Structure 1
Amino acid sequence: MLSDAKIKKAKATDKPLKMADGHGLTLYVTPAGGKIWRLRYRLEGKEQQLVLGHYPLMSLAEARDARDDARKILATGGNPAVDRKAKAQAQVEESGNTFEKIAREWHTLNLPKWTEKHGADVLVTLERDVFPAIGAIPIKDVTPVALLDALRAVEGRGAIETARRLRQRCSGVFGYAIATGRGTNDPAAQIEKAMAPLPPKGRQPAIVESFEKVREIIMRVDETPAHPVTKLAHRLLALTVVRPGTLITTPWSEFEDLAEADPTWVVPAERMKLLKGHKHDEARDHFMPLTPHAIEVIGALRKLTGRGPYVFPNGRHSHKVMSENAIGYLLNRAGYHHKHVPHGWRASFSTLMNEQRPRDRLFIDMALAHISKGEVEAAYNRAQHMKLRREIMTEWADNLIVGLMPLEQVVKMPRRA
């Protein structure tokens, strides 16, 4: 039997030195001084030899445990060498199945159903907030505590909603790992109740008290030094109540056929706030009746930007669209910081028009693209609801424009220094 003392005293010689411990376990001392644990055993009448490890990385006790494990495999008819290779291969595969590797697979798999912007956001947040903490860990070894620590750091900078979204995304990754045979559980599901609660959701600032108050917004914006295109963008936003992101990305091609008696702006589904799978469904195009006031604004814009591809081009690069912040900054300078934002026009329209026409709530919501045409098609054909919606938008515009500065004067007002 060997002992640690005997092993430490063993010296290299010109020939390999064999030191037996029992039951086939032998320590080989090489001429170069290396000490290797080997196991000799017989399988199907033939002698076999298996390297178990190197001393002192593998201690005497660990070598004996490895020998005993090999003997148990032999007792059941197995081959310790084959079993050892299989375990080594499993370890290699396991080390390759890191959280980051599987998360990137999951991301690629889901990209076709996401919009380009959302897909990029998902990957950026994972790369920034999750991969540095647990990305290199085999996915089976990621613990709830490790994941929670990573998300606590996100919460710590005040990004509570981001942390919650990341937990959901991580849960998707773990679910994918389980489905593909590389994961066993979902730590993200276990930590939900340990995360910081979401703060109460606040509404986007909007003036909704009266038409007099909303008219004042346009008046003050028109008087504030700014580029005329930005002011006209703000006025058209108020008149059409589309989403600000939809408005600023409008190409002139969508305003080509407005000479008819009842001009309608057709916003294709691909530019609407929809799931990616719905963005190529023409049935989800948004139809916005354009009032004479809106047509007048578009005419003024055509004189300023009609030669380019976009109605609202970037001030420096005409092939790009206006910044999403341009209208918001203009409202801030007009005195509406934290009082009214570009998106607030939708709330103003909904509140004031529902007060005036409570029976037309359905069609007011349709003007905001909150209800798809298919949900009411059975009860109203297009001619009927477009006629009523045009009436609603005209009433809104007529109330909004009373007493406002003429557009000819707006475009001549001083620009921002």
Structure 2
Amino acid sequence: MLTDTAIRNAKPKDKPYKMADSGGLYLLVQSAGKYWRMDYRYASKRKTLAIGVYPTVTLTVARKKRDEARNLLTKDVDPALVKAVNKQVKKHAQENTFQAIALEWHTKQSTTWAESTTANIKRCLEADIFPWLGNRPIKDINAPDLLVVLRKIESRGAHEKAQRTREYVGRVFRYAIQTGRAERDPSGDLRGALTPVKAKHHASITDPKAIGALLRSINGFVGSYTTKCALQLAPLVFVRPGELRQAEWIEIDFDKKEWRIPGHKMKMKEQHIIPLSRQAIEVLEAIQPLTGNGKYIFPSIKSTVRPMSENTVNAALRRMGYEKDEMTGHGFRSMASTLLHEHGWPHEAIERQLAHAERNKIAAAYNHAEHLPKRREMMQWWADYLDNLTKSKF
């Protein structure tokens, strides 16, 4: 019979050797470590069961596992087969945890998302879901389990994030159902269980007189020249703030008077063409001597190899006296959409210029140059209209 002292003092020799205990249990001592093994016979064959590594598996635990194996043998069950099945069940359970499936779903879907969306969703799951539900088999998670976790988010006052997280979790469950690893989506049972969130819209200025005042403030902006040029270009092209700050010189064609944004930068993953008005060209030509030798038209103040911060334009608007509930960088899009519609420009041309998702799949099949002649005309009219508002004192 072995003792803890004997096992602890056992040293490796030139060749591996065994230290017998009882009931077929022994310790195999090798230069790489000490391993618990059990020899037994099943179906007239000699077999060996690996029980574990010392000292992780102590003498007491090794004997307990030996007794469990011998008990199986009395029932004509092969303990090695039981171990293999349990290992497979454990592996299957690990592959079907909420976290494993969520990360699999995230990887597959991220090819259609913007980089910022990909990062935001993963950060949300890692911070607010995985710590509590990540290791749980997805099929065992029910609505009350999920509600407890979502209410942790609500307790911080982040009601909108709680609703958004419920949506993400629901999409993971639906993916699990589609791949045969869950039977239903419990997030649907939580509709109405979370604090409702009032729909928010990006603050924007649409009154012509106020637009004129804003444009004059931009022209008089005192601060970084790069920031001023970004502010001047924003209303002329009305792209999303991320698309503006990540604009690259290689995307500008001065001869064709076009800015072509590659699909991987766009929300809808489709190349977007922006006809450049005479005024937009003037802004680009004004900043070209300053940043034209680099990659980005509007580089970061700290490093020219990175684009300007996502907060730069909004911070500049705040410095100019516009609060976040009055005007944002995104608000230039609403401004253009509202005024262009009011002046009778075709809805299809406006929506295409805004690079909005086309809900009609047949219409969506058209290429990125759809309505381009009309959009060229519209963009120059818009720039001239803004010029007139800037000069008008009403």
Same fold by TM-score greater than 0.5: yes
Question: 1:384-403 maps to which residues of 2 (within 5 A)?
Answer: 385-402=371-388
Alignment of 1:248-327 (within 5 A): 248-255=245-252, 257-260=253-256, 263-274=257-268, 279=269, 284-327=270-313
Which consecutive residues of structure 2, in runs of 5 or more, have no partner in the other structure? 1-21, 23-41, 44-70
Residue in structure 1 matching 2:197, options 192, 196, 199: 199
Question: Within 2, Cα distance between the matches of 1:375 and 1:80?
Answer: 64
Could you say which residue in structure 1 is the equivalent of 2:18? none
User: Cα RMSD (Å) of the superposition?
Assistant: 3.8
Q: Aligned partners of 2:231 and 2:380: how far apart in 1?
A: 18
Following superposition, the deviation at residue 404 of structure 1 comes to 4.6
Q: Deviations over 1:118-139 (max 9, x none)?
A: 3332322111111211223343
Give, in angstroms, the shift of residue 252 of structure 1: 0.8
Match of 1:331 in 2: 317
Instruction: Report how far residue 162 of structure 1 moved.
Output: 2.5
Give the C-alpha shift of residue 85 in structure 1: 5.3
State the 1:89 CA deviation. 4.5
CA gap 1:334/1:84 in 2 versus in 1, 3 angstroms: same
Q: CA deviation at 1:143?
A: 3.5
Q: Distance in 1 between matches of 2:348 and 2:186?
A: 40
The CA distance in 1 between the partners of 2:296 and 2:368, in whole Å, is 33
Q: Mapping of 1:172-183 within 5 angstroms? A: 172-177=171-176, 183=181
CA 1:90–1:250: 2 relative to 1, 3 Å = closer
How far residue 382 of structure 1 moved from its aligned partner, in angstroms, is 6.2
Q: Deviations over 1:39-75 (max 9, x none)?
A: xxxx99xxxxxxxxxxxxxxxxxxxxxx9x999xx8x
* Superposition TM-score, scaled by structure 2 size: 0.70
The match for 1:340 is 327
Structure 2 counterpart of 1:103, one-letter code: A
For 2:215, the equivalent position in structure 1 comes to 218
**Partners of 1:70 and 1:172 in 2: CA distance:** 46
Q: In the TM superposition, what are the counterparts of 1:44-59 in structure 2 within 5 Å?
A: none
3-state SS in 1 of match to 2:162:
helix
- The answer as to 2:372 corresponding to 1:375 is no
Structure-2 separation of matches of 1:105 and 1:382 = 35
- Partner SS, residue 197 of structure 2: coil
- Alignment length, in residue pairs? 325
The aligned residue for residue 33 of structure 1 is none
Letter in 1 for 2:259: W
> What does residue range 8-407 of structure 1 map to in structure 2 within 5 Å?
79=77, 88-89=86-87, 92-93=90-91, 96-97=94-95, 98-177=97-176, 183-186=181-184, 188-189=186-187, 191-193=189-191, 195-210=193-208, 212-255=209-252, 257-260=253-256, 263-274=257-268, 279=269, 284-337=270-323, 338-357=325-344, 360-370=346-356, 375=363, 385-402=371-388, 404=390
Distance in 1 between the 2:322 and 2:292 partners? 30
SS of the residue corresponding to residue 335 of structure 1 reads: coil
Q: Give the gaps of 5 or more residues in structure 1.
A: 1-29, 31-42, 45-66, 406-417
| Post-superposition CA distance 1:125-160 (Å, at most 9, x none) | 111111211223343443332221111111222323
Q: Percent identity?
A: 33
CA distance in 2, matches of 1:399, 1:393: 10
